[in-house]
Structure 1
Amino acid sequence: MSTPQTPMPQAPPEWQGAPGASYHPGYTSPIPVRPTHLGHALASEWTKIRSVRSTMWTLGVFVLLVVGIGLLTGVLVGDSDDGDLGGESALALGFFGLLLGIMCIITLGVLTTASEYGTGMIRTTMTACPSRGRVLMAKAIVFFTLSFTVTLLSAGFVAMVQVSLVTQAREPSGAEWLKGTVGVSLYVALLGLISLLIGSVIRHSAGAITIMIAAVLAPLVIALFMFSSSLQGLRDALFEYSIPNQLSVFYANSLSESGPSGWDPLWIILGVTAVVFAGALFLQERRDV
């Protein structure tokens, strides 16, 4: 006479196990299972951007250019016999260092995304966080916050020193202080964010950096070599909307008599950033890593 066997408990339909694995209803995993969110992606991207050497070098050179050239300009103008800036405030002297410094922000923005595609690290990133939109958003937030903070500290320090050195210049108003520090820092950070997005589209560091540098310098250079009177309208548009000219607007010292003024450059680059971000997200969702 055979002994009846106790049937094995059946796994519930929602339990997904490996083929051939037994079901143990009393087992509880010691590893907590929690749903991921944007905060986890932000922590990951912050760890990556602060642990690579490119961040230290690019931001270090950026601070050196902005602060070094800014202080040198302030000392030279302040010690000169003719230290009067023609009715302009000393804040305008910060333009020169920042114009060179944006090349470093552009480079770091491109490397934040394009370098991961070059090394293949993007596959690990997407495996850990399959939501590509979340990854791109986390990279954008971390980079924008970092670049804005560094630019604001550098531009603010240079502005205070220049105003104290150039005593013969006009005292800047509160609105000029806001534009020459916070406004220009937002503009530079958004320009770097566009570089980050272009890096995710091109997926090649050298190519993306070349495109961004051309976008900064090419319109102004092309406009300088348009001598034909029939091209007057195009020449003026290229000159007025070139990035160097828009950058100078924040210092109330526009390179042209027409074109963007006040806070117009910030709204322009904000619109361009939104368009580029939408395009980068569209391509990222539809291409393999």
Structure 2
Amino acid sequence: MTTPQQQPAAPVASYTSPIPIRRAHLGDALASEWTKIRSVRSTMWTLGVMVLLMTVIGIGLAALVTAVGEPAPTDESVLGLGVFGALTGSICVITLGALTVTSEFGTGMIRTTLTACPSRARVLAAKALVFFVLAFTAALVTVGLVALCQVAMVDGREPTGEEWLLGTVGVSLFIALLGLTSLGVGAVVRHSAGAITIMLGLMLLPLVAGFFMLGSSALQGVSEVLLEYSVPAQLIGVYGEAAGSGPAGWGAVATMLGIAAVALGSGFAAVGARDV
């Protein structure tokens, strides 16, 4: 029995959302990361500078060799001239790889990202996939264009099919994997300047230290290892010119793949173990 002040509660009508509700998956994370990476200015600047450096240096060297008038060695491919531009452009890819993951930690937007997608492994996997495809595509288009110009401008031996594959696809894979290594380091360090500095040190310090150790007979073995396995030597090896007993060709690409796997694995472990 109810009093005038106590009216029976009206039944609550059920609500059905007009928006389809489904479980989120990796494709959603990929779409989100693609929107992020293409909408920030750092992507345009880093990739734009990479394309500019690789094009200007690569075609400029070809023009210089042509102006000198000396024919290229018959036992070497003309595509080897592209190593100077590729090495310089890889610094831009390293920068973008680090910023892809560290920028969100710096601004605090990573909290929003992980609220929308609590699976941290999925978020990092999406970042890595989107970055790798973007970096590889940009590098492949640029390296391929520069290679065509160099072969057309320089009077030398026509590259073989294997040399074309290594000088374009192999080099682009190497550069993209180097950037992926930077992304993994960024996931561990969570600081843009720190991650970029570490990657530049890993890229250049072994080469510099190896040259300084050449004068010491006691450090001769260490010097050779540092010189043969430094990033510039590995990139030269992709073009087929191995530094001493270091890897060459696809072996150099496989070496960088192993390094990227270790760095990215460390990034997954750090992201899963730490709080934001």
Q: Structure 1 length normalisation: TM-score?
A: 0.90
Q: Of 96, 99, 118, which aligns to 2:84?
A: 96
Structure 1 residue runs of 4 or more that deviate by more than 3 Å after TM superposition: 5-9
Deviation of the 1:31 alpha carbon: 2.6
RMSD: 1.9
Distance 1:29 1:46 in 2: 27
> What are the residue-to-residue correspondences of 1:272-287 with 2, within 5 Å?
272-287=259-274
> What are the residue-to-residue correspondences of 1:113-262 with 2, within 5 Å?
113-167=101-155, 169-226=156-213, 227-254=215-242, 256-262=243-249
Structure 1 residue ranges without an equivalent (≥5): 10-21
Q: Percent identity?
A: 58
Deviation of the 1:170 alpha carbon: 1.3
Secondary structure of the structure 1 residue equivalent to 2:218? helix
Distance 1:59 1:176 in 2: 25
Distance 2:104 2:68 in 1: 49
Distance 1:201 1:253 in 2: 33
Deviation of the 1:108 alpha carbon: 0.4
Deviation of the 1:258 alpha carbon: 1.8
Q: Does structure 1 retain, via aligned residues, the 8 Å contact 2:181–2:261?
A: no
- Give a deviation string over 1:42-67, Cα, whole Å, max 9, x none: 00000000000000000000000001
The answer as to 2:46 corresponding to 1:71 is no
1:17 alignment counterpart = none
Q: Does structure 1 retain, via aligned residues, the 8 Å contact 2:2–2:8?
A: no
Q: Of 232, 236, 256, which aligns to 1:269?
A: 256
Secondary structure of the structure 1 residue equivalent to 2:38? helix
Deviation of the 1:8 alpha carbon: 7.2
Secondary structure of the structure 1 residue equivalent to 2:219? helix
1:274–1:7: structure 2 CA closer, same or farther, 3 Å change rule? farther
Higher Cα radius of gyration: 1
1:50–1:2: structure 2 CA closer, same or farther, 3 Å change rule? closer
Distance 1:34 1:137 in 2: 21
Secondary structure of the structure 2 residue equivalent to 1:172? coil
Matched residue pairs, number? 273
Distance 1:262 1:195 in 2: 22
Deviation of the 1:252 alpha carbon: 1.9
Instruction: Say which structure is richer in helix.
Output: 2
Which residue identity does 1:154 align to in structure 2?
A: T
1:47 alignment counterpart = 35
Deviation of the 1:166 alpha carbon: 0.6
Q: Structure 2 length normalisation: TM-score?
A: 0.94
1:83–1:2: structure 2 CA closer, same or farther, 3 Å change rule? closer
- Give a deviation string over 1:201-221, Cα, whole Å, max 9, x none: 101100100000001000000
The answer as to 2:47 corresponding to 1:59 is yes
1:12 alignment counterpart = none
Distance 2:9 2:18 in 1: 24
Deviation of the 1:78 alpha carbon: 1.5
